[in-house]
Structure 1
Amino acid sequence: MFGYQAIHEMTLLGKEFTKGFFNMTKDDKLYAYYQEGGRDGWSQIQRYGDQFDGAVVGAPAFRFAFQQVQHAYSDIVEQTLDYYPPPCEMEMILNETIAACDPLDGKTDGVVARTDLCKLHFNTSSLIGIPYSCAASPVYMGFPPHPSWPAQNGTVTAKAVQVADTIIQGLRDSHGKQAYLSYQPASIFADAFTQYDTNTSSFTLWPSDFAAQFVLPFLDLVNATSFANLDNVTYDTLKQWMYQGWQMYESTLHTTWPDLSSFHSFHGKILHYHGESDFSIPTGSSVHYRDSVRKIMYPHLSYNASNAALNDWYRLFL
């Protein structure tokens, strides 16, 4: 039900109830939501072409198995490199990245609108040795959540830069093959948050519950939602989890069917948006999906011509 059926049935019932309650004769239908709700919307567009006249979908959680396991990637980067950076150190790397890459779009406004250029032109190694200092912070249960942290100060280390660069690079297996996308530069390193151990007076791993809430109940089929630890988990383990989840839930949760012929035949329109600095759902996942739709819907047109044709009814904004 969670994958797509519940949204479908709720929509059918909701449309009839609304028409009857408001005595409506016109039947315009628009879907609008983001993140998991964005994935829900795509699950309807891909399956039921006449259900909505249009959709506004933001930062959809495509490729659910990859998306959820991705949240553990930063933890495994830290574990593999054996460095658990103080959050303030990673925040300094983030802030300096924003300052350096902000002007690359031609306008200095506090927003990095060309993260692609940031990847090409900014070298995070230039930040080694820069001082950082942060006040103590209590537990935060908003989004992204984090544990309590003491006051921190120091200088940016080569190890922290290596952690940041490896996270942005994205998951690669032991053979160096890219397994999935990661976040863009200027995204908060939320998955890399560490916790402070008062016994050792040092920062340690803070395993992601977002990953655990998929891996444990959905893959291991156990009633648990938190990792006890991530001992012996490697980059290859993460790839295996992603592939296992893909195989188990491709028809329900993967939600990347690229043939939108049915929706298009009913003259449906789509506005798809995704923030470039999304720290939870890789921005590239939306870019890759739209490009797959372009290739399937207009296989005989050139790149520019197929983009123009698709833009008539499906546009992506970053």
Structure 2
Amino acid sequence: MKICYILAIVLPCFAENWCPGHAPTSTSRCSNSTLSHALPQGAFIETTKEIRNGECFGEDTYSNIFYAVLNDTNVCRNAQDSGSCNYAVHLPPSCALIVNMGTYRFGIIMPTTWSGSLLTVGSYSYGGGINWKDMWTGPKYYKLATISTDTGHNSTQPDMAWARGNKQAQKDWGYRSIDGSTKAGKALLVAYYGQNSLKHAYYSGCSTGGRQGLKQLEVDQTLFDGLLIGAPAWNQTHMLPWITRLATINPPGQASSIFNSGSDITVIPSRIRDACDGLDGVRDSIVSRPDLCNITSVARNNLTCGAPGVPSTGCLSSAQADTLIRLYQNYTISNSTGRYQAFTPPEPGSEADYSVYLSPGSTIAPDGFDWQWEIDFLDYPRGYNFSDDIVTDAAKADPGSATARPRNTDWNAFNARGGKLIMYQGLADGLIPAKSTNSYYEQMSIAASGATDSFSRYYQVPGMHHCFASDKDSTKYFAPWMFGGMGQQTYATIAQTESILGKGDADMLTALMNWVEGKSAPASIRATTWIGTTTTIYRQRPVCPYPQRAEIIDPSNIDSATSWVCR
């Protein structure tokens, strides 16, 4: 098992003139004396700074902040720190604050030229620290005041000691920090801009950030008008034990059946991709129809040594093929009434994410983030032996009340006030399986009595990994995956990102804002990938609202979005 370090730069959006700006009457309003009265009792402003055009803002390098991992002197160009940094960069003239709410903190950037709306950005995994480097595109390209919280702690991802025996810290991470930071942020906007009303409040997050947004909808349907949710880790109590269970499929000491070397694992993604690529009728190095990919057949006929046409090197033993097949089986456990499905498997085509939870001949590593969660959130002893009882214990405890429950959310109330929700999910995501997000959407539909079309859209993205990127060769990503989702600009250049930002048919956040503000509901969204670091487009394709899929209508040019239609 390996630790999954999920890094990101905020969702990209470029819309310099998308609506009129609102400026404070004086930059002197960016002061503690002017703004502190807007905060709830016990909260206080730690830092206030007026930002000049092009400057950065954030916190210095810390070894215990999950987000302080970026080494790029261009990104940190105005910071004295030329190495790792945790900054919002390339900012327009703004007022930036760090606010201490007692048990958690948040940062807020209020641009001088303001659209009148707010964006709250989510976090990643269990790491702490304000997510400054996901905040800058909100003020720069949308003219949105932008907020992010540290969720109540500073830590790297595998360090969850802050949660052990601390139920209040778990709740801050689970939901309270997003709720409280956004409410306090709204009050600061009124104090700073001198206006009595906020136009709209938006949210964007992927992975844990996706979970945070969905949990907030359960807690309060009025805080956000529009939410963009990617690959949500919504089912905490079942997902984490599932990840640990996957590692137990590949234990040491069973040499005939486990993956003993990196080559055993690295050969698998390309073989499965080659076998299942053309099931949608197009050979493009993308598994667009994983539902048609028979993993048992592929393991036996395309990967097992001795099968017709399988090379004698870079193949799996029959026992190893059995192990591979088990990775794609439903995780079922027993209860008093029989067996039930505890969690869903990943889709064929997601094999590049094996490194998240599976190492050659691994034991259950004590530094895996799933293992740490079970120790620090469930108070399990170090060295415990995994069993299915963990699922039962986790479901009873629901540490931090972090699990987002679609059947407990008042979707009718959200719909009645004009709220909008867009969800997206990579079909090649091996960390948050697409079937998990499907399950949330289906339960939401039941809870909303089938009225989801009036307030929500769900997009499945063929070939996309967890939140961003796809399988690739030395010059390009195969699957179009860039559409303005949280963290996607991590894998794109500034020029590439700015070619997408703010274009409603290519940017999901712009599409969401347009929908909230009275325009039509989004149809397909055009996803993009490029040749290397250039702005030369390699491939574009429509991402379709579920349950539609993109189908080819012009096989002569499979790389053009116009050659595809949603059906």
Q: TM-score, length-normalised on structure 2? A: 0.45
Cross-structure match for 1:148: none
C-alpha distance in 1, partners of 2:266/2:441?
32
> Any idea what SS the aligned residue of 1:56 has?
strand
Matching residue within 5, 10, 31 for 2:181: 10
Match of residue 405 from structure 2:
256
1:155 aligned counterpart, secondary structure: coil
1:286 aligns with 2:431: no
The Cα of 1:115 is off from its aligned counterpart by 1.1
Aligned with residue 390 of structure 2, among 233, 241, 248:
241
Which among 314, 330, 340 is matched to residue 170 of structure 1? 330
Q: What value does the CA root-mean-square deviation take over the aligned residues?
A: 2.6
Range 112-121 or range 272-281, more displaced: 112-121
Q: 1:271 to 1:206 in 2, by over 3 A?
A: same
Classify the secondary structure of the residue corresponding to 1:3.
helix
Match of 2:304 among 128, 137, 140: 128
Q: Kindly provide the CA deviation profile for residues 163-210 of structure 1, in whole angstroms up to 9, marking residues without a partner as x.
A: 111011132337765332121111122245325xxxxxxx44363712
The one-letter amino acid of 2:229's match is V
Deviation (angstroms), 1:23 = 4.5
Aligned residues: 272
Deviation at 1:292, TM superposition (A): 0.8
Amino acid at match of 1:46: E
1:311 aligns with 2:453: yes
| Corresponding residue SS for 1:274 | strand
2:379 is aligned, of 220, 233, 237, to: 220
Give the match for residue 84 of structure 1: 258
Aligned-partner Cα distance in 2 for 1:165–1:245: 27
* Greater share of strand: 2
- For residue 219 of structure 2, the aligned residue among 47, 55, 58 is 47
Residues 39 and 61 in structure 1, CA contact (< 8 A), matched pair in contact too = yes
- Which of the pair has more CA radius of gyration? 2
Identity of aligned residues (%): 22
Return 5+ residue gaps in structure 1 as ranges. 133-152, 196-202, 299-305
Q: Show CA shifts across 1:83-116 (max 9, x none).
A: 3302322222221111121221233222212111
2:285 to 82, 85, 110: 110
Change (3 A) 1:120 1:182: closer
SS, match of residue 72 in structure 1: helix
Partners of 1:48 and 1:107 lie apart in 2 by 44
Amino acid at match of 1:98: R
Q: Deviations over 1:267-296 (max 9, x none)?
A: 100000111111111211110111111112
Other structure's SS at 1:172 match: strand
Deviates more, 1:123-132 or 1:44-53: 123-132
Match of 1:66 among 238, 241, 252: 238
TM-score with structure 1 setting the length: 0.77
CA distance in 1, matches of 2:454, 2:242: 33
Shift in alpha-carbon separation, 1:119–1:56, aligned structure 2, 3 A: farther
1:27 to partner: Cα distance: 2.0
Equivalent pair of 1:100/1:122 in contact (CA under 8 Å): no
Q: Which has the higher helix share?
A: 1
Describe the shift of the 1:204–1:292 C-alpha distance in structure 2 as closer, same or farther (beyond 3 A).
closer
Q: Secondary structure at the match of 2:457?
A: strand
Measured in 1, the distance between the counterparts of 2:250 and 2:448 equals 41
Provide closer, same or farther for how the CA distance between residues 172 and 96 of structure 1 changes in structure 2, counting only shifts above 3 A: same
Measured after TM superposition, the shift of residue 242 of structure 1 is: 1.5
Q: Which runs of 5+ in 2 are unaligned?
A: 1-171, 461-567
